[in-house]
Amino acid sequence: MKVLVTGGSGFIGSHIVDTLVEQGYEVVVVDNLSTTSGKNLNPRARFYEMSICDVRLADLFEQEKPEVVNHQAAQVIVIKSLEDPIHDAEQNILGSLNLILNSIRFGVKKIIYASTGGAVYGDPEYLPVDEEHPVNPISQYGVSKHTIEHYLHVYSIQCEIDYVVLRYSNVYGPRQKITEGSGVVPVFTRQILQGVQPTIFGSGDKTRDYVYVADVVHANLIAMQANVRGIYNIGTGIETSDKEMFDTLAKILDYQGTPHYAQARKGEIHRSCLNNSKALRDLGWEPHISLREGLSQTVAYYKAHLGIV
* 141 given a catalytic annotation: yes
Q: How far apart are CA 74 and CA 51, in angstroms?
A: 10
- Indicate if the alpha-carbon torsion angle 96, 42, 21, 211 is positive or negative: negative
Identified catalytic residue from 141, 163, 212, 302 = 141
Q: Kindly list the catalytic residues.
A: 141
